[in-house]
């Protein structure tokens, strides 16, 4: 394969903008092309959740021309790209390696299919509707399981469907509680509890649940539904990568044969191991 046979970065931007329109991103987000020359040929594409130094190194060593990530590298302003900071080292590594970076974040969340469709599929949902709306775009999904099951059985099924992460799946609710209607929102979702309650969901699958919002949500539920499952930010969003690669290949049509797409297997969850703390009921004097 020669450079002349490969699509240009501009061609790939057009494909990605079509699949994940930048205008559908939330107002605070930073998506689209971060580095790269639109005229450069693209023969190998690398996909990952986070543009970490390790991911950039992996893509560079694999000979990638384009790195597509879900999370932005430069969400907030920086005033230096010196290699003395991780952000600066990342930008420098991209430029030196002639590696383009493209971000599809909240515009990939709201795409159909997108991040939340992948999570809904992992949760066993066949038909879904939007959970809520933000900035004129849908937020999360809600749907019904084919058959009811216990909260514990559902959590175990979900854990098997997700990529393994050290912290695993955290669950709040009665293990024998009935679950049929499920709300999902990939990534951080503790600002959508009102929408979850309005949806009639028995359980809410999301990540990054902070102590106070989660505790207040369980207090409002009086011990019943909606139960909560914190399945991890990286784990809930990494499910999107393979589907995105497949859709990029399909959108390229006849040009797909000249491009190699690779989904990163690097775990960019920031946690490395978990130390069990014993039985909370015994340590704290009984259940709440």
Peptide bond preceding 21 in cis form (omega within 30 of 0): no
Q: Which two tokens stand for residue 66?
A: 């384009």
pLDDT band at 4 (very low <50, low <70, confident <90, very high): low
Give me the torsion for CA of 17, 21, 27, 29, rounded to 10°. Answer: -40
**pTM (two decimals):** 0.93
pLDDT tens digits, one per residue of 60-111: 999 999 999 999 999 988 889 999 999 999 999 999 999 999 999 999 999 9
> Is the separation of the CB atoms in 114 and 104 below 8 Å?
no
Query: Alpha-carbon distance 14 to 8, whole Å?
Result: 10
Per-residue model confidence (pLDDT) at position 2: 52
What's the confidence (pLDDT) of residue 261? Answer: 98
Are 31 and 69 in contact by the 8 Å Cβ rule? The answer is no
Q: What is the DSSP string of 82-124?
A: -TTSHHHHHHHHHHHTT-EEEE-SHHHHHSSSSHHHHHHHHTT
SS (H, E, C) 59-84: HHHCCCCEEEECCCCCCCCCCCCCCC
Label the pairing between strands 137-150 and 128-134.
antiparallel
| Separation CA 37–CA 255 (nearest Å) | 19
What is the C-alpha end-to-end distance of the chain, expressed in Å?
A: 64
The SS3 of residue 181 is strand
**178-188 and 170-172 as β-strands: parallel, antiparallel, unpaired?**
unpaired
Average pLDDT over residues 189-196: 96
- Return the structure tokens found at 277: 């703390």
Summarize pLDDT for 204-219 with one digit per residue, the tens: 999 999 999 999 999 9
Give per-residue pLDDT as tens, 110-159: 999 999 999 999 999 989 999 999 888 999 999 999 999 999 999 999 99
pLDDT beyond 50 at 252: yes
1: confidence class by pLDDT, cuts 50, 70, 90: very low
- Which residues are CB-neighbours of 142 under 8 A, at least 6 positions away? 128, 129, 130, 131, 181, 182, 183, 184, 196, 199, 201
Beta-strand runs (E) in the chain: 32-35, 44-48, 66-69, 100-103, 128-134, 137-150, 170-172, 178-188, 203-207, 227-230, 260-263
Query: Where do we find the tokens 């809410």?
Result: 204
Whether residue 179 has pLDDT greater than 90: yes
Rg (CA), the chain: 20
Q: How many CB atoms lie within 10 A of CB 267?
A: 18
* pLDDT value of position 282: 58
Nearest CA to 46 among 55, 54, 38? Answer: 55
Note whether 283 and 51 are within 8 A (CB): no
Identify the residue whose tokens are 């050290």: 166
């Amino acid at each position: 394969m020669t450079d002349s046979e490969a699509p240009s970065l501009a061609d790939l931007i057009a494909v990605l903008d079509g699949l994940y329109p930048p205008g559908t991103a939330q107002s605070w987000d930073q998506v689209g092309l971060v580095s790269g020359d639109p005229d450069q040929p693209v023969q190998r594409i690398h996909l990952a959740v986070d543009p970490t130094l390790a991911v950039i190194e992996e893509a560079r060593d694999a000979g990638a021309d384009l790195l597509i990530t879900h999370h932005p590298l430069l969400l907030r302003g920086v005033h230096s790209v010196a290699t003395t900071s991780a952000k600066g080292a990342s930008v420098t590594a991209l430029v030196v390696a002639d590696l383009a970076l493209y971000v599809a974040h909240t515009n990939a969340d709201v795409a159909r299919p997108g991040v939340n469709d992948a999570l809904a599929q992992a949760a066993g949902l066949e038909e879904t509707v939007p959970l809520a709306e933000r900035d004129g775009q849908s937020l999360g999904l809600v749907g019904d399981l084919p058959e009811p099951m216990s909260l514990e059985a559902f959590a175990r099924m979900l854990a098997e469907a997700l990529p393994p992460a050290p912290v695993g799946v955290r669950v709040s609710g009665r293990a024998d509680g009935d679950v049929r209607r499920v709300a999902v929102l990939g990534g951080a979702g503790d600002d959508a509890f009102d929408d979850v309650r309005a949806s009639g969901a028995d359980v809410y699958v999301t990540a990054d649940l902070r102590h106070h919002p989660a505790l207040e949500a369980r207090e409002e539920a009086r011990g019943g539904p909606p139960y909560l499952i914190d399945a991890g930010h990286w784990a809930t969003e990494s499910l999107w990568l393979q589907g995105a690669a497949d859709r990029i290949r399909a959108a390229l049509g006849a040009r797909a044969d000249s491009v190699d797409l690779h989904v990163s297997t690097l775990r960019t969850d920031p946690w490395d191991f978990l130390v069990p703390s014993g039985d909370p009921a015994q340590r704290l004097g009984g259940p709440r």
